[in-house]
Amino acid sequence: MSEPGEVSPEQIVAPEIPRSGWETLIILQRHGRYDNRRPIDGQNLAEEEKGYGHLTEEGKLEAKKRANERIDAALSQDPQNTDFLIVNSPTFWLDNEQLGQRAKETAEIIAGEVIERLKSKDYQKNQFLNHSNRFHEDLSRPDPRIGEAKMFQVPEFVNVLREEYNGQPPEFWKDYYRDDHKELREQLHAEGPEDIARRIDRSVKVVARFARGYHQQHPDRKLVGWMITHGDGLEPYLQ
């Protein structure tokens, strides 16, 4: 039976998290829901436009809920010996530094929930590796390799697709992931789905390599590497 206030094993959700048999767990997830409206003038934002690109209130609540489910699952085996490292895409909405960073905001929510859970259970502060000297005590570590698709930095390419598909409906993304416009894309030097998959794979391998070294130094501990990226990166990476 669980102690009062604890979560019993049968109450834990997040079926994607294995309950046993792991020493390193890498979670690669999309950011939460956000305000995807676009400002009229990206250089001179109206006051109401400054919230664009940030998580919505619903997105924040959803991110918190999913974070707690996964934290419960990750801590269900050996909580005192389970450590966390949070990594995020640093991408700004529309590559505009005046707008939101939905992956970073999601990562900070996750980090906050991890810290609160560790505090509430009297676990050790050093189980949150981002607050170690090695990672400069940031809530989350930015990694541009898991940033948004860089094709948006080539408007000549994106605008052709938007005109063809009348915006960015599901068909826009489906054909981009299949690289149906490869010839045009290569002519304009825009990033393709295989390029995205390779850079995300490099980032995942960096976390995995860090984990191997970490376990050599701390063989009795588990490590959760939690990476927050974008849907346009997850799709080609998983294909």
CA distances from 100 to 50, 185, 216 (A): 8, 27, 38
Reading the block at residue 213, the tokens are 């070294």
Q: What is the rounded distance in angstroms from the CA atom of residue 188 to the CA atom of residue 157?
A: 7
Rounded CA-CA distance 30/235 in Å is: 10
- Number of Cβ within 10 Å of residue 210's Cβ equals 17
What pLDDT is attached to residue 13? Answer: 67
pLDDT (0 to 100) of residue 11: 54
Positions of the chain with pLDDT under 50: 1-5, 9
CA gyration radius, the chain: 20
Report the distance separating Cα 111 and Cα 226, nearest Å: 9
Report if pTM > 0.75. Answer: yes
Helix (H) or strand (E) holding 213: helix 193-217
* E runs forming strands in 15-149: 24-30, 82-88, 141-142
CA neighbor of 74 nearest in space, from 140, 10, 3, 16: 16
* Nearest C-alpha neighbor of 232 from the set 28, 26, 30: 30
Give, in order, the Cα–Cα distances in Å from 9 to each of 6, 21, 106, 118, 221.
Answer: 10, 16, 26, 18, 20
User: Cα-flanking dihedrals φ and ψ of residue 220, to 5°?
Assistant: -95, 5
